[in-house]
Structure formats: structure tokens, C-alpha cells
RNA sequence: AGGCGCUUAGCUCAGCUGGUUAGAGCACCACCUUGACAUGGUGGGGGUCGGAGGUUCGAGUCCUCUAGCGCCUACCA
């Protein structure tokens, strides 16, 4: 084996071997293990399908690490495990990408026509989709590629058609002219969720609308309205005041003359109006504002649409404004009103501006014909499923978010005026009457329409989420009752981010319950967002994104700068991004390999918190990989060519250390099971790291060194056996988190531990065995560690060279101390680098020494010629100070008159501690006296 | 406006149903090329847990108030 672990040299090899072996495919796994799948419990995860034209970012890598750990864990536990991969067609996003590419060649989508355009999108999908699947493969994710799906493949398309037709049959789909959020650039409706409202600086314009039948001269001849969108006044059909507003009450029922339009509109009363805001008079534009629309409905107001789909003024408006862009019209209208003397004032005003989440363009409420899903009933079932415990959120507080949205749900506009997506299976006849069905022939048959009736299919497509909502079962073959569907629905867990609880989680829950009568997943594990080291959200425009593969492979500073500053939407940011990058990664990024990156994600995955990605942490875990690698080298070196109890035929005995590490291992195994069950991957990672590094490597390997040198062949064999078997088990424990390293090493270690098989992936996950827990051995080794630490501390603080073998005196040793000294003598000598301890009677006069306390006894390292008095005094003073402070606290506790209320056990413990502290203190003080007297 | 979350060593974070002297990694200081590993070893320094009050024999851990930060929802023209 090489001296250092080199991830590059093994990763590609194992990726290929695992996939080629079929180890990701449930059927093959069952076959190789000789198990009948029907007898295995089922476990399944559907990958949240990434956008097919994107690339995977840190958030994906993080979530995939979690999903793969769960998948490998359950596979090893003997579950019939499926992790199903796939990608999403991402209607709007993908269409925009391709349109942008075409635009670069000066081509418009409409120039090509629907057919040709879609061909181009499919081409791009084929090209780009490979990037994602390669990334997934490289990270070692054990997804079943034989079941890969795409949200727009034939199977998923059939499911979407079925969904729409059945919902329609169930009376949950309707088509209607409604006010929707309209993106004037994309020329499509979008759902509420696709609108991002942010506070922006704007103005509040105050306009005077003259009252009919009054003169302006008396100062009461007009009503002043306040608006943030002056251009909408062209579509005003009323002016509203609060019914109890004394300023205006007498005007209710009168009419005002709408300036510029020469229309008379009524003054109405509605308690929606806020008297405090603006002038207390609101202009009402039912066609271009959601509230106004609702008010228009309440008061039967006419609805005048004044915009074209791309937000220019249409022919409903007076001639001078027609054809103007909305913002040009705004300017013009304000000017014209000003010249008429109808502008009362203009004040600065902060307002929430709604923008399309894809285009960033201000969205207009716009009246169009669209398809909607009636959500009320669906939402109620989804709420109930969580209340009844059929579906559980981890962490649990995300239920609030889920509930809140479902309780206030609005009908879902599912049609998009886009080409790229599932086309709506609805047909229209010449009169515009619509028919819904799985196909045109079905529609004709069902509605008895002869071929003479011309039918045209709806031009629109579905909201991407309308198909994503089916993902947990469309992937398994629904609406067919496939074996896969029966086997793996409901899925076991959904791993995703909180940002799509509404978009996706809730909608999957609703559709799953509606169509399959069961929740789509038993548990929803919500991960935090991966942020950069400074806590900022990673985004291309900020130039702070990290490509997971750049951490895996490493990247030079120059390449990283180039990558972050090229292809920016705002090139002027380049200099700033470059500076920040050079500051943050002055040396570029060192390669850490897949295992270290995956382990880092797991270690950072604490609950309910975003994670700041810390590259130095990843470097630390790369070191951990190397540590394991070298521990393996040590083990191999020491057992090579020697029997390690593979066939159990030769006698072996286990030392205290052997029994100790095996006992510790059982406890770690139990912890691992618990942490997996609770999704506490941070604690899992910590627990494994701690065991392997701080117990197995730091102590057990060191303890094994003298043991391997004894004359006792059976004891040697026992140590070799333990060395190998604990390592082999640790590898299996760690495998779901570090697949590559553990596989590579396991191949070499397994035969020595009498294990065989093509891959560690197919081995059982270690389970704790209660009968191998050995408390006496643990106590013995704790004692031993205390002794060694005591001597090391003296050595360290006295600056005695590590190699020097010291004499050691022990005073006040109890009977059990004496037994331990005798039994653990070789370990004591080797690890503490001392001569065999010399026992002193309690009353004996000791030579001048540096001392340490261990239980009731005192360790003494004679100082003759070794130690400087001041250093030892300083060391003692520190210890005394600490002890005094601790003792003080204990005394206060015990002396509290009410301490008697505490449980007996707690009281006893406190008194024992008090006694020990007092003893230690007096021993230390006596020692101080002696040293001072020198 | 409503909801959720965060504030613990220089940095990034653990600390479960309240119980011994608050932990880890990284960073820092000193010593060490000891045959698994310098991507290492050994020893060490460093926090009183945002602030105030309360409950309790006992609070980082529960309650109230308060300060700061972040996120999500929401129809104020």
C-alpha cells in the first residue's frame, strides 16, 4: 500500500465495478445474497429530480450524500432497497435556456415554430442530462440506473395525462377566466409560488378625480386617490372609500369623472379600504389588481383590461396611450394629469413589488383563460395525513410551514403558455367548447363527436410541478399497478430542502393521497441550505458557488477565478468576485476526494440549521481518510503471513485491551443505529470519527504494539484477530458515509477477518451485541489511560524528552490498583515509557518528585536531575487553583440546606466527589510544601 | 402583520427528557523526523453559555421579558 491515501486512484475503479456488478439494483442484490425479495422489508427513496439542463451544486451533493448513506445503510441492513434516479424537465427554466441560446444566433422561438423548437430542446436535454448523471455517478451514489426516469418520458407523460383526466372527472379541474400572475416576458401565467415579492422603493401618486356635479373651485369638488401604479387608472371602474369614513360617507353613491378617459365611475363603499392609508380613497382597477378584482366581484363592477400580453397599453385605452409600454404610459399619464392640475402630490413610498422568479420581471395581474385545480379538499386530506401521523417531518417544526400553507391554500393555476412541457390533453371545437380526455380518439368516442367536427388540442402545457407532484409513483409505473409500485409505494423518506415544501412536498402529498390513498413518503427529512463560509447563499451572480467536484479533484486559484467570473449576467461584478475568491481561497482548493467531501456534509448536517461550508473541515476529514488508510497499513504489516484466527482452529486469548476495544465497538454500533434512525448524521459522523481515531488508532493500536511482541502465541493471535476484526467492522460501519475508501481497504482486510464477498456494499451492517460489552475491561483501560496521561502530563510540562524512560513510584495503591499494575505492566511500560512502577507504602517518605493523582493513589516521577523546581511549582499551582475552585462549587452544592431534596444517588455522588477533591487537594498541597522546601 | 429559527472557546458547530469540573474540529503555543500515519504524535492555553429576571436542591438545558441577526408566509392601494 502507498504511504498516503490517494482517492483519485480508486474512485473511478469502484464506481464502475459497483454499477457493472449490478449492486445498485435490488434484484441483483437479492440474488447475490441468496435472499427472496418478498421476505425482505422494503426501503425506497426517490431522488428529487434535478433540472435536466442544470449542473449539480453543493446542495445536491449534500442531499445526495444523505440519501446515499441511508440507501447503503438500509441495503446493508437487508432491506429491499431502491434509490431511484431521474431528472426534471423544468419547463420554464429549460425553455428559457434554449431560447437564450437561440437568441445568441439571432433566432426567435416563434421563427422556428413549436415542432422545431421542441426538437432543439430535446437535443439540449440529451446533451446536458449527461452532465448530471455523471456527477451523480462520480459521487458514488448508489442509484438504480436501470430505473432512471425523466419527468417527460413516455411513462411519466402517461401518468400526467391520467392525473389531469381523473382530476377533471372528479370535478377538481376547471377552466376559467381569472386574474392570474402574468409574466409579460415569458408570456405565460405563473403560480403564486413563482412570484417573489420584495420591498422596493417607489412612489405614491395622489391624483384628483373630479366629482360629477360639483365644481373644482370650492375645493371639495374632487376625491384624491393614492396609487403606486398610475398607468392602471386607465382601467379604473370605481373609487372606493370605507363605509364609516366620515370624510367621505356623504359621497358614497355619487360618481367621479375618470380623468383622461372621460368615463364616469361610481364611488362605492367597502370595508376593505384602510382609512389610515393614503387619502382613504382607493381607485379600483378590477382587471389589474387582485384585491380590486375581488372588490369588483362584490360590487358587480365592469372589468376593463388595458394591457396587451406583453404589458403594453391596448386599444381599450384612450388613443394617446395605445401601444405604449406600461412604464412609458405611466410617465405620460402623470405628465398629462399634471398639466391638467390633477396631481395633488407625489411622495416616496416603499412597496412590495412582485417579480417572476425566473425572469425577474415585474409580474402583472392579468385576466386570461387558464386551467385550475380546486385545492380545498385535496389540502384537507394532506393536512390530516400529517396530523394523524401517517407522514412525519424531521425536524418536526416544519409541520408549521406545511400546515400554514395548506390552510390558506388558493386554487392552483396549472396551465402555462409554454411549449416545453406536458401538453394539456384538452381539445376545443369550433365554438370553443372544451373536451378533456386521454387522447383525441377517446374524446371523440366519449362525446360522440364525428370526424367531421374539427378539434384542436390546447396549445398550452402544464406547470412543471403538476408532473413533479406525481414523482413518487409515476416513477414506479402508475397508473399501471406494477410490481414496483406495490413494492415501494409509499416511499420511505423524502430528503429535500425547506424551499420546496409548498412547491413539491405538499403537492406530492395531495396527489398521492388522492390517487393512491396513501401518503407518498412516511418521513420528510428537511435539510438546511448549503451556504458559503461567510453564511451567504451560494449563487452564480454572487460568484461564490463551489462545484462539488472542484472539492473532490481540487482546483487552482486561477481556474477557480476564471470559473466564477465567466458567463456572468452582470460582468461588472467580476472584479469584486475575483477579489473575494482570492481572499477566501488564496491557495485554490486542495483535492480531498469524494469520501472526505461526503463525510464533511454528514458531519455538518445538524438539524434545523443551514450549513456554512467550511473547506478546512473537509481537509480535516481528508486527514481522517489518511488516518484510516495508515491504520490499515499498520494492521496489514503486523498480521502479514501470520494467523489471525480466520478459521478459529488455533487457540487465542484476549487481553484486556482486546476486550475493551470490542466492548467499545458494540457501543458505537448501537449509537450508529440510533443516529441513523433519528437522522442525526452529524452525531453519527462524530461518533465514528471519535471511535476510529481516538480509540482504535490512538489507544488500541498503541496497546497492541507491546502485545504483538509477547512470547505468548495465543495472546498474539488474539491481538491480531482483534486488530483485524475491529477494523473490518469499523469499515462496514463507515461505509455508507465513505464508500470508496472503505471498499478499497475492506478488500484487503476482509479475508483476514474470515469474510468474503464481492463488495463491502453487500455485507451486513454491524449490529451491537450486548454480550460483548465488557464493563470491567472498560474500567481497566480507563484506569490505564489515566495513569499514562498522568505520566505524559508530567513529561510534557516538565519538558522531558518523550524517548526518555522514567522511573515511576506509586504511593497509596489499593489492592485493585496493584492487580492492574501487574496485569497491564507491559502497556504501562510501553505507553508511559517508564520503568516498572515501584510501590511505596502510604506512610513511606518519597523522594522529591513530580506527581499526579489517579483515583486514590499518587504517581510520582522522581525529579533528581530532571526537573526544574519552578516549572513543577507552577504546574502544581495551576492544578491547585483548579481544584480549589471545583471544590468550592461542590461544597456550596452539598452545603445547601435543601440539597436533601435531591435524589439519593445525586447526593451520594456529590459527597464522593467532595471527598475525592479534598483528598486530591491535600495531596497536592503537601506536594507543594515538599517542592518548596527543596 | 403572522410564523419559524439562531445567538455556547479566535472560527465553524455539538450539548438528547435540567444533575458530576461546558465538548469537538479547525486555528493557536511548546516539544517530538519514536518503523502505520508530519494529511502525524504528545502536552498546553482559550468560553460561564447575547442581556435581565424567574422556577428548582440544582439551568447552557425549562418559563417570562429584552437586544441583535436570519428565514418564510401576507391583499395594504
Q: Which of A96-100, A568-572, A671-675 has the highest mean pLDDT?
A: A671-675
Distance (Å) from CA A688 to C1' B20?
A: 26
CA A870/CA A810 separation, integer angstroms = 23
Nearest nt by C1' to A788 Cα: B42
Task: Verify if strand B has an atom below 7 Å from the CB of A247.
Answer: no
CA A422/CA A462 separation, integer angstroms = 6
CA A659/CA A523 separation, integer angstroms = 39
CA A685/CA A626 separation, integer angstroms = 16
Which residue is closest to B37 in terms of CA–C1' distance?
A: A630
> Is residue A251 within 8 Å of A241, Cβ to Cβ?
yes
Which residue is closest to B32 in terms of CA–C1' distance?
A: A802
Could you tell me the three cell numbers for A671?
449509537
Inter-CA distances, A56 with A337, A467, A504, A827, Å: 53, 21, 19, 51
Average confidence score pLDDT of chain A:
90
Q: What do you get for the CA distance between the two ends of chain A, in Å? A: 55
A205: left (phi over 0), alpha (psi -120 to 50) or beta: beta
Interface residues 650-689 of A with strand B (CB < 7 Å): 682-683, 686
A477: left (phi over 0), alpha (psi -120 to 50) or beta: left
Task: Verify if strand B has an atom below 7 Å from the CB of A884.
Answer: no
> Of all residues in chain A, what percent carry a pLDDT higher than 90?
56
> Is residue A364 within 8 Å of A189, Cβ to Cβ?
no
Question: Which pLDDT belongs to residue A60?
Answer: 93
Report pLDDT digits (tens) over A50-83. Answer: 988 888 899 999 999 999 999 999 999 999 999 9
Could you tell me the three cell numbers for A170?
372528479
The residue-averaged pLDDT of A810-815 equals: 92
Could you tell me the three cell numbers for A25?
439494483
Nearest nt by C1' to A281 Cα: B77
Task: Collect all residues with Cβ–Cβ distance below 8 Å to A296 and sequence separation of at least 6.
Answer: A237, A238, A284, A286, A302, A303
DSSP line for A24-37: TSHHHHHHHTT--G
CA A239/CA A224 separation, integer angstroms = 10
CA A556/CA A577 separation, integer angstroms = 16
Q: Which helix (H) or strand (E) holds A731?
A: helix A713-734
Q: Which pLDDT band holds residue A692 (cuts at 50, 70, 90)?
A: very high
Report pLDDT digits (tens) over A646-665. Answer: 888 889 999 999 999 999 99
> Is residue A306 within 8 Å of A234, Cβ to Cβ?
yes
A129 vs A27, residue with greater confidence: A27
Question: Which pLDDT belongs to residue A828?
Answer: 94
Nearest nt by C1' to A405 Cα: B73
Task: Verify if strand B has an atom below 7 Å from the CB of A407.
Answer: no
Distance (Å) from CA A42 to C1' B8?
A: 42
Nearest nt by C1' to A795 Cα: B43
Q: Which of A815, A825, A747 shows the shortest CA–CA distance to A787?
A: A825
Report pLDDT digits (tens) over A787-808. Answer: 999 999 888 888 888 888 999 9
Interface residues 106-165 of A with strand B (CB < 7 Å): none
Task: Verify if strand B has an atom below 7 Å from the CB of A630.
Answer: yes
Task: Verify if strand B has an atom below 7 Å from the CB of A830.
Answer: no
CA A477/CA A845 separation, integer angstroms = 85
Task: Verify if strand B has an atom below 7 Å from the CB of A536.
Answer: no
The residue-averaged pLDDT of A588-612 equals: 90
CA A468/CA A88 separation, integer angstroms = 8
CA A643/CA A713 separation, integer angstroms = 10
Strand B: positions under 7 A of a protein C-beta atom: 3-6, 12-15, 19-21, 24-27, 30-32, 34-45, 48, 56-58, 72-77
Alpha helices in A438-565 (DSSP H): 440-447, 464-468, 471-474, 483-488, 507-516, 548-553, 557-565
The residue-averaged pLDDT of A761-784 equals: 94
> Is residue A857 within 8 Å of A810, Cβ to Cβ?
yes
Q: How many CB atoms lie within 10 A of CB A118?
A: 17
Question: Which pLDDT belongs to residue A660?
Answer: 96
Q: How many CB atoms lie within 10 A of CB A252?
A: 16
Question: Which pLDDT belongs to residue A866?
Answer: 64
Cell 507552577 identifies what position? A874
Interface residues 285-324 of A with strand B (CB < 7 Å): 289-291
Question: In the Cβ-directed half-sphere of A717, how many Cα atoms lie within 13 Å?
Answer: 15
The residue-averaged pLDDT of A358-370 equals: 89
> Is residue A524 within 8 Å of A398, Cβ to Cβ?
yes
E-strand spans in A409-457? 412-413, 415-416, 426-428, 434-436, 456-457
Question: Which pLDDT belongs to residue A170?
Answer: 95
The residue-averaged pLDDT of A266-270 equals: 89
E-strand spans in A597-719? 611-612
> Is residue A861 within 8 Å of A850, Cβ to Cβ?
yes
Distance (Å) from CA A694 to C1' B56?
A: 38
Question: Which pLDDT belongs to residue A219?
Answer: 52
Could you tell me the three cell numbers for A332?
405620460
Task: Verify if strand B has an atom below 7 Å from the CB of A802.
Answer: yes
The residue-averaged pLDDT of A572-584 equals: 86
> Is residue A259 within 8 Å of A207, Cβ to Cβ?
yes
Strand-pairing partners, residue A412, are A373
Report pLDDT digits (tens) over A554-569. Answer: 999 999 999 998 877 7
Q: How many CB atoms lie within 10 A of CB A346?
A: 14
Task: Verify if strand B has an atom below 7 Å from the CB of A604.
Answer: yes
Q: Which of A256, A229, A398 shows the shortest CA–CA distance to A327?
A: A229
- ipTM surpasses 0.90: yes
Alpha carbon A330 to chain centroid distance?
44
What burial class does residue A327 get, using C-beta atoms within 10 Å of its C-beta: 0-12 exposed, 13-18 middle, 19+ buried?
Answer: exposed
DSSP helix/strand/coil, A227: strand
Cell 472542484 identifies what position? A550
Question: Which pLDDT belongs to residue A414?
Answer: 93
CA A543/CA A469 separation, integer angstroms = 32
Task: Verify if strand B has an atom below 7 Å from the CB of A542.
Answer: no
Question: Which pLDDT belongs to residue A217?
Answer: 45
> Is residue A403 within 8 Å of A390, Cβ to Cβ?
no
The residue-averaged pLDDT of A708-712 equals: 89
Q: Which of A470, A405, A575 shows the shortest CA–CA distance to A159?
A: A470
pTM above 0.90, yes or no: yes
Question: Which pLDDT belongs to residue A215?
Answer: 55
| Cis amide leading into A395 (omega within 30) | yes
Report pLDDT digits (tens) over A277-330. Answer: 888 889 999 999 998 998 888 888 899 999 999 999 999 888 898 999 999 999
CA A276/CA A372 separation, integer angstroms = 36
Nearest nt by C1' to A633 Cα: B36
DSSP 8-state symbol, A499 = G
Nearest nt by C1' to A628 Cα: B37
Question: Which pLDDT belongs to residue A690?
Answer: 94
Q: Which of A601-615, A690-704, A792-806 has the highest mean pLDDT?
A: A690-704
Inter-CA distances, A472 with A131, A401, A652, Å: 24, 21, 53
Task: Verify if strand B has an atom below 7 Å from the CB of A355.
Answer: no
Distance (Å) from CA A895 to C1' B58?
A: 12
Return the exposure string of A43-56: e unless at least 16 CB atoms fall within 10 Å of the residue's CB, then b.
Answer: bbbbbbbbbbbbbb
Task: Verify if strand B has an atom below 7 Å from the CB of A709.
Answer: no
Task: Verify if strand B has an atom below 7 Å from the CB of A257.
Answer: no
Interior angle at CA A144, CA A141 and CA A147, nearest 5: 140
Could you tell me the three cell numbers for A834?
517508564
Question: Which pLDDT belongs to residue A717?
Answer: 93
Amino acid at each position: 500500500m502507498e504511504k498516503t491515501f490517494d482517492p483519485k486512484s480508486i474512485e473511478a475503479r469502484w464506481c464502475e465495478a459497483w454499477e457493472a456488478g449490478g449492486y445498485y439494483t435490488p434484484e441483483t442484490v437479492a440474488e447475490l445474497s441468496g435472499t427472496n425479495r418478498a421476505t425482505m422489508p422494503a426501503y425506497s427513496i426517490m431522488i428529487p429530480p434535478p433540472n435536466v439542463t442544470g449542473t449539480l451544486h453543493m446542495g445536491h451533493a449534500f442531499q445526495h450524500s444523505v440519501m446515499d448513506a441511508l440507501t447503503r445503510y438500509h441495503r446493508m441492513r437487508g432491506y429491499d432497497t431502491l434509490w431511484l434516479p431521474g431528472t426534471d424537465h423544468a419547463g420554464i427554466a429549460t425553455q428559457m435556456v434554449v431560447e437564450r441560446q437561440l437568441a445568441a444566433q439571432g433566432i426567435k422561438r416563434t421563427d422556428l415554430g413549436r415542432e422545431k423548437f421542441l426538437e432543439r430542446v430535446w437535443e439540449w436535454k440529451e446533451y446536458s442530462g449527461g452532465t448530471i448523471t455523471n456527477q451523480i455517478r462520480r459521487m458514488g451514489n448508489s442509484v438504480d440506473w436501470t430505473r432512471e426516469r425523466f419527468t417527460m418520458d413516455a411513462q411519466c407523460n402517461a401518468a400526467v395525462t391520467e392525473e389531469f383526466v381523473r382530476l377533471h372527472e372528479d370535478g377538481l379541474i376547471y377552466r376559467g377566466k381569472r386574474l392570474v400572475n402574468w409574466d409579460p416576458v415569458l408570456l405565460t401565467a405563473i403560480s403564486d409560488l413563482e412570484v417573489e415579492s420584495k420591498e422596493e422603493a417607489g412612489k405614491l401618486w395622489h391624483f384628483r378625480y373630479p366629482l360629477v356635479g360639483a365644481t373644482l373651485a370650492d375645493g371639495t369638488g374632487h376625491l384624491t386617490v393614492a396609487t403606486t401604479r398610475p398607468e392602471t387608472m386607465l382601467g379604473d371602474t370605481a373609487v372606493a372609500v370605507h363605509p364609516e369614513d366620515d370624510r367621505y360617507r356623504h359621497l358614497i353613491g355619487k360618481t367621479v369623472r375618470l380623468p383622461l378617459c372621460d368615463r364616469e365611475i361610481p364611488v362605492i363603499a367597502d370595508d376593505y379600504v384602510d382609512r389610515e392609508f393614503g387619502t382613504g380613497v382607493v381607485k379600483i382597477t378590477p382587471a389589474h389588481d387582485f384585491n380590486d378584482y375581488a372588490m369588483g366581484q362584490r360590487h358587480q363592477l365592469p372589468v376593463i383590461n388595458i394591457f396587451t400580453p406583453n404589458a403594453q397599453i391596448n386599444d381599450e385605452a384612450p388613443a394617446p396611450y395605445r401601444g405604449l409600454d406600461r412604464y412609458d404610459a405611466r410617465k405620460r399619464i402623470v405628465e398629462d394629469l399634471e398639466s391638467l392640475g390633477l396631481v395633488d402630490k407625489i411622495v416616496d413610498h416603499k412597496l412590495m413589488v412582485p417579480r417572476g422568479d425566473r425572469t425577474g420581471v415585474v409580474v402583472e395581474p392579468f385576466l386570461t383563460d387558464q386551467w385550475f385545480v380546486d385545492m380545498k379538499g385535496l389540502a384537507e386530506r394532506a393536512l390530516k395525513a400529517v396530523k394523524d401521523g401517517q407522514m412525519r417531518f424531521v425536524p418536526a417544526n416544519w409541520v408549521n410551514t406545511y400546515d400554514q400553507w395548506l390552510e390558506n391554500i388558493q386554487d392552483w393555476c396549472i396551465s402555462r403558455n409554454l411549449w416545453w412541457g406536458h401538453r394539456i390533453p384538452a381539445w376545443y371545437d369550433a365554438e370553443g367548447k372544451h373536451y378533456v380526455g386521454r387522447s383525441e380518439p377517446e374524446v371523440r368516442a366519449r362525446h360522440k363527436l364525428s370526424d367531421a367536427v374539427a378539434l384542436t388540442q390546447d396549445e398550452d402545457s402544464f406547470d412543471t410541478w403538476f408532473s413533479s407532484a406525481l414523482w413518487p409513483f409515476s416513477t414506479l409505473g402508475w397508473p399501471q399497478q406494477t410490481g414496483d409500485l406495490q413494492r415501494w409505494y409509499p416511499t420511505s423518506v423524502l430528503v429535500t430542502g425547506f424551499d420546496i415544501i409548498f412547491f413539491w412536498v405538499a403537492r406530492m402529498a395531495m396527489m398521492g393521497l388522492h390517487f393512491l390513498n396513501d401518503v407518498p413518503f412516511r418521513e420528510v427529512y428537511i435539510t438546511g441550505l448549503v451556504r458559503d463560509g461567510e453564511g451567504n447563499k451560494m449563487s452564480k451572480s454572487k460568484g461564490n458557488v463551489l462545484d462539488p467536484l472542484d472539492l473532490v479533484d481540487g482546483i487552482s486559484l486561477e481556474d477557480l477565478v476564471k470559473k466564477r467570473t465567466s458567463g456572468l449576467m452582470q460582468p461588472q461584478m467580476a472584479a469584486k468576485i475575483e477579489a473575494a475568491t482570492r481572499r477566501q481561497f488564496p491557495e485554490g482548493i486542495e483535492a480531498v476526494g469524494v469520501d472526505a467531501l461526503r463525510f464533511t456534509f454528514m458531519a455538518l448536517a445538524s438539524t434545523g440549521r443551514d450549513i456554512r461550508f467550511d473547506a478546512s473541515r473537509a481537509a480535516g476529514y481528508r486527514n481522517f481518510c489518511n488516518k484510516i488508510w495508515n491504520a490499515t497499513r499498520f494492521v496489514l504489516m503486523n498480521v502479514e503471513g501470520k494467523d489471525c484466527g480466520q478459521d478459529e482452529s488455533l487457540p487465542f486469548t484476549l487481553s484486556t485491551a482486546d476486550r475493551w476495544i470490542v466492548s467499545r465497538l458494540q457501543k458505537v454500533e448501537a449509537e450508529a443505529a440510533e443516529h441513523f434512525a433519528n437522522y442525526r448524521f452529524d452525531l453519527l459522523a462524530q461518533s465514528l470519527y471519535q471511535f476510529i481515531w481516538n480509540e482504535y488508532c490512538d489507544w488500541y493500536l498503541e496497546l497492541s504494539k507491546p502485545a504483538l511482541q509477547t512470547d505468548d502465541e495465543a495472546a498474539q493471535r488474539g491481538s491480531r484477530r482483534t486488530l483485524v476484526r475491529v477494523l473490518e467492522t469499523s469499515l462496514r460501519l463507515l461505509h455508507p458515509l465513505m464508500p470508496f475508501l472503505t471498499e478499497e481497504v475492506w478488500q484487503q482486510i476482509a479475508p483476514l477477518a474470515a469474510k468474503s464477498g464481492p463488495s463491502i456494499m453487500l455485507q451486513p451492517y454491524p449490529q451491537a451485541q450486548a454480550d460483548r460489552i465488557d464493563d470491567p475491561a472498560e474500567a481497566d483501560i480507563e484506569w490505564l489511560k489515566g495513569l499514562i496521561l498522568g505520566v505524559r502530563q508530567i513529561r510534557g510540562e516538565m519538558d522531558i524528552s518523550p524517548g526518555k524512560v522514567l522511573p515511576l513510584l506509586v504511593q497509596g495503591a489499593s489492592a485493585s490498583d496493584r492487580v492492574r499494575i501487574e496485569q497491564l505492566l507491559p502497556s504501562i511500560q510501553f505507553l508511559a515509557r517508564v520503568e516498572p512502577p515501584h510501590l511505596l507504602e502510604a506512610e513511606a517518605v518519597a523522594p522529591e518528585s513530580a506527581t499526579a493523582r489517579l483515583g486514590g493513589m499518587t504517581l510520582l516521577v522522581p525529579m533528581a536531575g530532571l526537573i526544574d523546581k519552578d516549572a513543577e511549582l507552577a504546574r502544581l499551582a495551576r492544578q491547585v487553583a483548579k481544584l480549589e475552585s471545583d471544590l468550592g462549587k461542590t461544597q456550596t452544592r452539598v452545603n445547601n440546606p435543601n440539597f436533601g431534596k435531591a435524589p439519593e444517588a445525586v447526593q451520594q455522588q456529590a459527597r464522593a466527589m467532595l471527598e475525592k477533591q479534598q483528598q486530591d487537594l491535600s495531596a497536592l498541597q503537601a506536594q507543594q510544601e515538599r517542592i518548596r522546601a527543596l
